[in-house]
Amino acid sequence: MRRFFITISIIILLSASPAASDNHPKWCQCPSEPILRRTVEPAYHPILYQLQRYWASLSLYPAIPNGRFDQTMENAVIDFQKKHRLPPSGILDEPTWEKIGAVPAETEIGFSNTQPSGSIDVLVDLDALTLTVLCDRVPFKTFPVAIGTKETPSPAGSWQIVHKGYWAKGKTHWLGLSVPFGSYGIHGTNQPWTIGTRASNGCIRMYNHHLEEVYRWLKPGTRVFIVGDPFRDHRHLKRGMTGSDVYYLQIRLKQLGSYHRKPTGHFDYWTEIALKESQRKLGLPETGELSPKEYYRFKLYWTD
Between CA 298 and CA 2 the distance in angstroms is 14
Residue type, 188: G
Grouping H, G, I as helix, E, B as strand and the rest as coil, residue 125 is strand
Question: Do 2 and 303 meet the contact criterion of CB atoms below 8 Å apart?
Answer: yes
Question: Do 200 and 155 meet the contact criterion of CB atoms below 8 Å apart?
Answer: no
Between CA 186 and CA 255 the distance in angstroms is 31
Q: DSSP character for 299?
A: T
Active site residue 203: yes
Question: Do 205 and 187 meet the contact criterion of CB atoms below 8 Å apart?
Answer: yes
From the candidates 30, 163, 173, 187, which is the catalytic residue? 187
From the candidates 28, 30, 163, 203, which is the catalytic residue? 203
Rounded-to-10 torsion of CA 57, 63, 66, 70 = -120
Q: Please enumerate in sequence order all residues whose Cβ is within 8 A of that of 211, keeping only pairs 6 or more positions apart, or say none.
A: 172, 173, 186, 187, 188
Q: Please enumerate in sequence order all residues whose Cβ is within 8 A of that of 245, keeping only pairs 6 or more positions apart, or say none.
A: 153, 230, 231, 233, 235, 237
Active site residue 266: no
Question: Do 277 and 252 meet the contact criterion of CB atoms below 8 Å apart?
Answer: no
Selection from 277, 184, 294 nearest residue 237 by Cα: 294
Q: Write out the catalytic residue numbers.
A: 187, 203
